[in-house]
Amino acid sequence: MARYIMTVDLRRCIGCQTCTAACRHANATPPGVQWRKVLDIESGEFPDVRRSFVPVGCMHCANPPCMHVCPSTATYQRADGLVGIDYDLCIGCGYCAVACPYQARYIVHKREFAYGERPTEQEEARFDPKRMSAANKCTFCSDRVDYAKEHGLTPGVDPEVTPACVNSCIAGVLAFGDREDPNSNVSQLLAENQFFRMHEELGTDPGMYYIFDSK
Amino acid sequence: MSDVKIPPGRVTPWHQTNWDWRAAGNFIGGGSGTGLLFFATLAAGSADAYRIMALVALAFIGGGLTCVWLEIGKPFRAINVFFHPHTSWMTREGMVAVPVFLCGLAAAWFGGGIFVGMAALLGIVFLYCQGRILQASKGIPAWREPKIVPLILSTGFVEGAGLAAVLSAVLPGEGPRWIAGVLLGALILRRIAWTMYFKAVEQSGLPKKAMDVLRPFGAKFEMLGQLAPEILIVAGIFYGAVLPGLTLVAGLVAAASGWWLKYTIVARAAYNQGYALPVLPVRGQGEVKPGIKPGWTK
Amino acid sequence: MAYHDARTGRLTMAAARNVKKVPQYCYQCVAGPDLLTVKVEDGVATEVEPNFSACSVHPGAGKCCVKAYGIIQKTYNPNRVLQPMKRTNPKKGRHEEPGFVPISWEEAFGIVAGKLNEVRARGLIDEVGYPRVAASFGGGGTPTYYMGTFPAFLSAWGPVDFSFGSGQGVKCYHSEHLYGELWHRAFTVSADTPSCEYMLSFGANSEASAGVAGTWRHGEARARGMKRVQLEPHISVTGAASAEWVPIKPKTDAAFLYGLIHVMLHEQPRTRLDVDFLKHHTGSPYLVGPHGFYLRDPATKKPLLWDAKRNAAVPFDTPDADPALEGSFTLDALEVGADGEEWLHQGIAADTSFSMLVAHMKPYTPEWADGICDIRPGTVRRIANEYLDHARIGETVEIEGVTLPFRPVAIALGKTVTNGWGGYECCWARTLIACLVGGLEVPGGTLGTTVRLNRPATSRQASVKKGEDGFMHFPMNPTAKGTWRKEPAVRNAHSTLVPLSANSPWSTALGPTHLAWMFRKQSPENWPKVTAPAIWFCYRTNPSISFWDTQAIVERVAEFPFIVAFAYTRDETNHMADVLLPECTDIESTQLLRVGGTKFMEQFWDHEGYVLRQPAVAPQGESKDFTDIATELAERTGLLREYNEAINRGAAGVVLSNHTWDFKLDPEKKHDAATIWDHACRAASAELTDGRETDGLDWYKEKGLRTRPISRLTWYLFPELKKQGIRFELPYQEQLLRIGIQLGRRLHENGIEWWNTQLTEYQALPPIKDFPGVWEKDTAAHGTLGDFPFWLITSRSMQYAWGSNVGIQLMDEVGSNLRGHGGVVINTQRAHELGIAEGDMVEVTSYLKSTRGPAILRQGIRPDTLLMIGQFDHWVTPYAKDMKAPSMNGLVPMNIALTDATGSAADLVRVGVKKLEAA
């Protein structure tokens, strides 16, 4: 069975936030809700300073604490590794949000708009009332992955079935594919490069792999 | 509940915004209520006293659960909380809450019998669930430490014993004087649990801001929440005449300090994990540099 | 409100019945165009995506940068001006409410055309000699890619003054533009990133400014191991993505570069340089006479070099000569100085240009440079040697059957490095270093991207013409007696004061654009009065915010009698406008754009062609397609024929006919935008297929773009120079020396002494000057230097780039994810010394003005430097005015002392900082 993961080549990332903006578009999230975003992390002391850019979001863990704690079964894990939320079941208790060590989950109770108190035409057209007061987070664009299955396409290769953030990335940082397929783009990248996963010590078996150097 | 606002560009741990005082209220009500339900079996000087204690206990538990209900985003879907007993301690807490109330009400109705014991034991299970709820919150380092479970249990006992001591002093019938000893024992257990918990988080590391809350709190808590009631009881034991009065005061202080403890852990020390890099990436050429974990004690 | 997603058929959100993806381009900054599609659901634009069909032809894999994602909010922004407005308050100024009232398009056209006709009746040129109509466009020429056929209207109109800048000169790579075009047809300069292995970047913030193509190419380069060393006072996003950050003191880059040259010339054997390149492809062997000019053959006046084979001086183009690179030789020769002055020398000893260079660079040791630049000792020497280690002297690479030198080392220079005092020295040193290793205009090395001053603008290669001295001809503005243009043709006087600015359509904007503003207030001694234009058009520009000394700019703008602003929202410049005209925005209007070839910043394509921008959604309100506005103005001013003919000639980007095809518009008719662009599309199709295809607008609407492959060799100028037997005009700048002297004489003959300091820049071998001292002295002249202990600098932001999207919420939001936006970045330790904590409100003050913002504490900035990213102290622009961000623009003085010979200054000012008490 497939396990879809994302690789993040930290050598390449410049923190431009194009993925952040693309995700906001693709998933119609309201202002401030960034399922994908890039951190700007400075380390060291002048003059020995490093600055790193780190894309983060839901890690689609193989052992997702958010799912384990969810009292309503709204958070679920698919056979292909994607972790999703059924907005019809979610009670908005926030337990998943405190269980997630990646700060990936959002809960919005009040509609907010880009400009003032009224939605723009686009915001109105894409408003989804089901998300109000329910937990939400990155889906790895699961609808696209589903479409791939139905149409014989390959996520991570064919853009129409690849997550929006990956498609948008202008530095070749993000890649998406099946970890279980040794020939997939992500398996090849991981075979050729050194990588880590964030907070791996917490036993979450996260699905975002951060490449930091070649082998 | 307020919107989950993630500060832009934030890297170091920030305080979670999902659970506020209402969540702390559930742990306070649940702990004190189940503790009282347990110690009412020992402390009640009469059936009526037990009835009142049991009802007060249930009120605590119910109050706590009401707090949760007020906090969830979709309160009219609250029934969904029962859907995931396989792994969710919140579901389990909810499922235990039902027989706790049934048995507790039955025990109060009958004023004795098997329901008293069942209510007491189910209450402990409920309390255990609450401990595990916090432990399962992997995103909050101050909660996920396994030693939080004995801490939640022990403070539940302290609060319950403290309230039992207070109520037994004011309710009809004379409660046993040795309830002071029980309270002292619970306090000692909590002292041990707190010490073990604090050492554990010191050793494993915490977000600095969480530690900045817990360290000064701990110093005050050990004095006011632990030492003060312990001294009061010991003094009462030495000067038997004043024991009831001192036990009453000690009970109040002990219970209140448990609330203080839980409010602090749930609503003030709940800094999240933040982000970390085990190594810094190579940029073109150069060496892999040591990683960073911004905002952590270690 | 749930809908079935068009892609998946799944029930997700609202029920969309009609979904399409509309191809577009984004050209909000010069690093474009980015190619994208806009998803439109039931007539509402919802999502921007890369144009995946373009990934094989676009150098950035068909992606679009973060700014492109702002165009949907831009379209639906409720703050837009959506109908024509006219001013009711005749008084203008920051504190005068304009009292705009809505009017019909009919009335608006009537007012504007009436004014134009009035001007036309009075004469196109005013009493002083300046065009009565002026126009300003922002963003490095990018507004052109959104103004449809308006350039054809301006062409039909006649003389128009583009003098009034909105940031040119102070916020561009100014010296690079001018000297870059002189030396290697490089309006901007780029590394050959795909094959470069070692790169020095002096403040070149490519990861913010080089767009998708640059980001993509550099990402690939990093992954394959290219080492980039970033030298800048703070660690920018580019510094973050570099292998090493060197925190150099502001305005000392030239010293670092000179230190590098010293190491290469004085500490390493000549074998580590590309001696063959220097001898045969540069002016290094040219012999220099005692007056500083080349020694020439008296008969032909050709510059001489010493032929080692014949042991005699021979003209530079003697075919089988073996030029001596170094040495002093005795010869008879003619020396020709300024204004044709001649000296005939007998038996004179003369050094080669290269020998003079070696002697010139002797004092600039690495130890000296380390001290000037305030960096760790040893850094300059180490980096010079790393550069040489990577230069691969002698290696070649074959491209399309042509063998070329392979020199995978390059140097990039950023803004503030390439403008203002020191810009010349930096550009000269950078280009010279490339020559020392034979790495100029060859694979792996330092390349030019595009031409703007030379013609034709479509081909760097075609712009190469051999000059008399064996270098590329450059169209200098004349400085010789009798040909020097004493009376400026436009208000910034570029052709009078800046010979290097040439005289192409871009030259006005590349002149000293601040002079137009400054001289409006008060003309300097012996200088003609600078009048206000009778009509000023402005579009996608906001000099009231974006220039330096913005307070003064606002006052000058307020003096203009009639301003027509094409307005997206209200802003600080159109606050003074008389008429606001709402044009359709990016995804509401049509335009065909030429793409491909090589363009700035790192747009190196293997294809060329055309891409369409088209209405994805219906225009909001009464906004009108710019082309229709231009056509209407042309008709109402009686210029329809001239306008159509200008379009036919290619003024809208495509030449509509040639000897094989003819899609010309009927010049007598009024055509709507769709018709005009249909003709353009047909001509474009024919051009790209040699007449085989004639697909029109509908085809482009569906496909988005049409391209054809081009040769990779177009990236490199060296093969063209080699073919024509042309040398790079380095290291010795005889031509500049001559024109400098001539310019000085012309100015002095007319009593103009205020440009004397600028004249000192015209040196054949430029010495290092105290460049930071220029700013320090200017500060000391207006106050006490000790009160202004910090250098204030700025830095590009990809999210905002040219700032025209500052009112877009999404850009503000995602920009906030990066530290530095919206505040004053200060070194952490230094802040602690000053009692400033993160988030404290601080006031930053120059001798001119002060600005306020929250402190942002960073380790990655020098203790003597402050940084403000973004320049957004807006006071009218909706959304932006609520950001309350600090800006350096109002703090930077606008004066002659800070203006260099090319007419530029730098985004740099000395300031003090203090913590404000909590309110």
- Tell me whether strands C909-915 and C850-858 are parallel, antiparallel or unpaired: unpaired
Q: What is the mean pLDDT of residues C719-730?
A: 97
Report how far residue A36's alpha carbon sits from residue A22's, in angstroms, rounded to the nearest whole number. Answer: 9
* pLDDT given at position B8: 62
Report how far residue C570's alpha carbon sits from residue C574's, in angstroms, rounded to the nearest whole number. Answer: 6
pLDDT band for position C167 (cuts 50, 70, 90)? confident
């040398």: which residue's tokens? C727
pLDDT band for position C140 (cuts 50, 70, 90)? confident
Percent over 70 (pLDDT), chain C: 98
CB C158 within 8 A of CB C124: yes
Question: How many residues in chain B?
Answer: 298
Residues forming CATH 3.40.50.740 domain(s) in chain C: 85-171+488-517+528-581
Q: What is the mean pLDDT of residues C683-712?
A: 97
* pLDDT given at position C804: 82
Residue C56 touches chain A, beta carbons under 8 Å: no
Tokens of A80: 């292909």
Three-class secondary structure of residue C338 per DSSP: helix
Chain C: closest CA distance from residue A141 (Å) = 11
Which residues of chain B make contact with C244, given a CB cutoff of 8 A? Answer: 286
Alpha-carbon distances of C915 from B30, C680, C788, C799, C828, rounded to whole Å: 49, 58, 14, 28, 14
Q: Which of B285, B287, B292 to mutate to test the interface with C (most CBs of C within 10 A)?
A: B285
CATH code of the domain occupying C85-171+488-517+528-581 = 3.40.50.740
- Neighbours of C, requiring at least 3 CB pairs below 8 Å, are A, B
* pLDDT given at position B45: 86
Q: Point out which residues pair with C911 in neighbouring strands.
A: C790
pLDDT band for position C379 (cuts 50, 70, 90)? very high
CB C217 within 8 A of CB C449: no
Q: Which of B8, B9, B281 sits opposite A213 (nearest CB)?
A: B281
* Amino acid identity for residue C262 in this structure: H
């004639």: which residue's tokens? C694
Q: Which of C243, C818, C819 sits opposite B284 (nearest CB)?
A: C243
Report how far residue C476's alpha carbon sits from residue C77's, in angstroms, rounded to the nearest whole number. Answer: 46
Compute and round to an integer the Cα radius of gyration of chain B.
21
pLDDT over 70 (residue C8) = no
Which residues of chain C make contact with B286, given a CB cutoff of 8 A? Answer: 227, 243-244
Q: Which of A32, A52, A101 sits opposite B281 (nearest CB)?
A: A52
**Domain boundaries defined on chain A:** 4-214
* pLDDT given at position B7: 58
**Domain boundaries defined on chain B:** 21-273
Residue C543: cis peptide before it, omega within 30 degrees of 0 = no
Q: Point out which residues pair with C665 in neighbouring strands.
A: none
Distance of CA C425 to the CA centre of its chain: 18
- Neighbours of A, requiring at least 3 CB pairs below 8 Å, are B, C
C898 backbone dihedrals φ, ψ, rounded to 5°: -95, 5
All residues at 6 or more sequence positions from B123 whose CB lies less than 8 Å from its CB, including other chains: B33, B34, B35, B37, B38, B57, B61, B100, B104
- Tell me whether strands A48-57 and A36-45 are parallel, antiparallel or unpaired: antiparallel
Q: Which of B19, B277, B292 to mutate to test the interface with A (most CBs of A within 10 A)?
A: B277
Residues forming CATH 2.40.40.20 domain(s) in chain C: 771-915
* pLDDT given at position B242: 85
Q: What is the mean pLDDT of residues B34-45?
A: 94
pLDDT band for position C16 (cuts 50, 70, 90)? low
* pLDDT given at position C870: 84
CB atoms within 10 A of CB A157: 14
Residue A215 touches chain C, beta carbons under 8 Å: no
pLDDT digits (tens, 9 = 90+) for C771-785: 999 999 999 999 999
Report how far residue A161's alpha carbon sits from residue A148's, in angstroms, rounded to the nearest whole number. Answer: 6
Q: Does B284 sit within 8 Å of C221, measured CB to CB?
A: yes
* Amino acid identity for residue B288 in this structure: V
CB C678 within 8 A of CB C665: no
Report how far residue C493's alpha carbon sits from residue C489's, in angstroms, rounded to the nearest whole number. Answer: 7
- Tell me whether strands C409-413 and C198-202 are parallel, antiparallel or unpaired: parallel
pLDDT digits (tens, 9 = 90+) for C19-67: 999 999 999 999 989 999 999 999 999 999 999 999 999 999 999 999 9
Q: Does A93 sit within 8 Å of B139, measured CB to CB?
A: no
pLDDT over 70 (residue C371) = yes
pTM, full prediction: 0.96
* pLDDT given at position C14: 46
pLDDT band for position C1 (cuts 50, 70, 90)? very low
Q: Taking a contact as any Cβ pair under 8 Å apart, which residues of chain B between 192 and 211 contact chain A? A: none
Q: Does C7 sit within 8 Å of A115, measured CB to CB?
A: no
Distance of CA B275 to the CA centre of its chain: 28
Residue C245 touches chain A, beta carbons under 8 Å: yes
Which segments within C87-224 are labelled E, that is strand? 101-102, 133-137, 189-191, 198-202
Q: Which of B8, B9, B283 sits opposite C242 (nearest CB)?
A: B283
Tokens of C723: 């073919």
* pLDDT given at position A14: 97
CB C578 within 8 A of CB C666: no
Q: What is the mean pLDDT of residues B216-221?
A: 98
Q: What is the mean pLDDT of residues B269-273?
A: 98
Which residues of chain C make contact with A85, given a CB cutoff of 8 A? Answer: none
Angle at C620 between CA C617 and CA C625, to 5 degrees: 80
Residue A122 touches chain B, beta carbons under 8 Å: no
Burial degree of B83 (CB within 10 A; 0-12, 13-18, 19+): middle
Tokens of B222: 């050990």
Q: What is the dihedral of CA C572, C574, C577, C582, to 10 degrees?
A: -160
Among chain B residues, the shortest Cα distance to A202 is held by: B138
pLDDT over 80 (residue B38) = yes
Q: What is the dihedral of CA C88, C93, C96, C97, to 10 degrees?
A: 60
pLDDT over 60 (residue B120) = yes
Three-state SS string over C292-343 comes to: CCEEECCCCCCEEEEECCCCEEEECCCCCCCECCCCEEEEEEEEECHHHCEE
Is the domain spanning C771-915 CATH 3.90.1150.10? The answer is no
Q: What is the mean pLDDT of residues B104-114?
A: 93
| Inter-chain contacts counted by CB atoms under 8 A, chains A and C | 205
Which residues of chain C make contact with B283, given a CB cutoff of 8 A? Answer: 222, 228, 240-243
* pLDDT given at position C4: 37
CATH code of the domain occupying C174-454+720-746 = 3.40.228.10
* pLDDT given at position B105: 97
Which residues of chain B make contact with A213, given a CB cutoff of 8 A? Answer: 281-282, 288
Among chain A residues, the shortest Cα distance to B287 is held by: A213
Half-sphere exposure of C374 (CA within 13 A, CB side): 14
Taking every pair of C-alpha atoms in chain A, what is the biggest distance, in angstroms? Answer: 54
Q: Does B285 sit within 8 Å of C241, measured CB to CB?
A: no
* pLDDT given at position A141: 97
Q: Does C13 sit within 8 Å of A127, measured CB to CB?
A: yes
Shortest CA distance to C1 belongs to which of C54, C58, C42, C48?
Answer: C42
Q: Does A52 sit within 8 Å of C810, measured CB to CB?
A: no
Q: Point out which residues pair with C539 in neighbouring strands.
A: C137, C566
Among chain A residues, the shortest Cα distance to C11 is held by: A143
Taking every pair of C-alpha atoms in chain B, what is the biggest distance, in angstroms? Answer: 81
Q: Which of A98, A194, A199 sits opposite B19 (nearest CB)?
A: A98
Q: Which long-range contacts (CB under 8 A, 24 or more apart) does C692-698 make?
A: C694/C661, C694/C663, C697/C590, C697/C612
Among chain A residues, the shortest Cα distance to B76 is held by: A91
Q: Does C243 sit within 8 Å of B285, measured CB to CB?
A: yes
Q: What is the rounded end-to-end Cα distance, in angstroms, of chain A? A: 27
pLDDT digits (tens, 9 = 90+) for A76-91: 999 999 999 999 999 9
Which segments within C735-840 are labelled E, that is strand? 790-795, 824-827
1.10.3210.10, 3.30.70.20, 3.40.630.30, 3.40.50.300: which CATH number matches A4-214? 3.30.70.20
Shortest CA distance to C316 belongs to which of C338, C274, C284?
Answer: C284
Percent over 70 (pLDDT), chain B: 97
Q: What is the rounded end-to-end Cα distance, in angstroms, of chain B? A: 32
* pLDDT given at position C138: 87
pLDDT digits (tens, 9 = 90+) for C423-449: 999 999 999 999 999 999 999 999 999
All residues at 6 or more sequence positions from C779 whose CB lies less than 8 Å from its CB, including other chains: C785, C788, C846, C847, C909, C910
* pLDDT given at position C552: 93
Residue C218 touches chain A, beta carbons under 8 Å: yes
Report how far residue C191's alpha carbon sits from residue C412's, in angstroms, rounded to the nearest whole number. Answer: 7
pLDDT digits (tens, 9 = 90+) for C239-249: 999 999 999 99
Report how far residue C154's alpha carbon sits from residue C116's, in angstroms, rounded to the nearest whole number. Answer: 12
Which residues of chain B make contact with C236, given a CB cutoff of 8 A? Answer: none
pLDDT band for position C740 (cuts 50, 70, 90)? very high
pLDDT digits (tens, 9 = 90+) for C646-662: 999 999 999 999 999 99
Chain C: closest CA distance from residue B287 (Å) = 9
Report how far residue C675's alpha carbon sits from residue C681's, in angstroms, rounded to the nearest whole number. Answer: 10
Q: Point out which residues pair with A210 in neighbouring strands.
A: A8, A196
* B21-273 topology per CATH: Formate dehydrogenase/DMSO reductase fold (1.20.1630)
Q: Does C215 sit within 8 Å of A14, measured CB to CB?
A: yes
* pLDDT given at position C600: 84
Tokens of C430: 């950078």
Report how far residue C875's alpha carbon sits from residue A141's, in angstroms, rounded to the nearest whole number. Answer: 40
């605590």: which residue's tokens? B60
Alpha-carbon distances of C471 from C179, C188, C724, rounded to whole Å: 14, 20, 10
* pLDDT given at position B111: 87
pLDDT band for position C884 (cuts 50, 70, 90)? confident
For chain C, what is the mean pLDDT? 95
DSSP symbol at B241: G
pLDDT over 70 (residue C170) = yes
Report how far residue B162's alpha carbon sits from residue B160's, in angstroms, rounded to the nearest whole number. Answer: 5
Q: Does A34 sit within 8 Å of B6, measured CB to CB?
A: yes
Percent over 90 (pLDDT), chain C: 92
Q: What is the mean pLDDT of residues C179-194?
A: 97
Q: Does B286 sit within 8 Å of C243, measured CB to CB?
A: yes
Q: Does A129 sit within 8 Å of C49, measured CB to CB?
A: no
Chain C: closest CA distance from residue A97 (Å) = 21
Report how far residue C481's alpha carbon sits from residue C278's, in angstroms, rounded to the nearest whole number. Answer: 34
Report how far residue C376's alpha carbon sits from residue C380's, in angstroms, rounded to the nearest whole number. Answer: 9
Residue A149 touches chain C, beta carbons under 8 Å: no
Q: Taking a contact as any Cβ pair under 8 Å apart, which residues of chain B between 158 and 187 contact chain A? A: none
Q: What is the mean pLDDT of residues A68-74?
A: 98
CB C879 within 8 A of CB C246: no
Report how far residue C373's alpha carbon sits from residue C385's, in angstroms, rounded to the nearest whole number. Answer: 18
Residue A62 touches chain B, beta carbons under 8 Å: no
Q: Which of A11, A17, A193 to mutate to test the interface with C (most CBs of C within 10 A)?
A: A17
A141 backbone dihedrals φ, ψ, rounded to 5°: 50, 55
Burial degree of C805 (CB within 10 A; 0-12, 13-18, 19+): buried
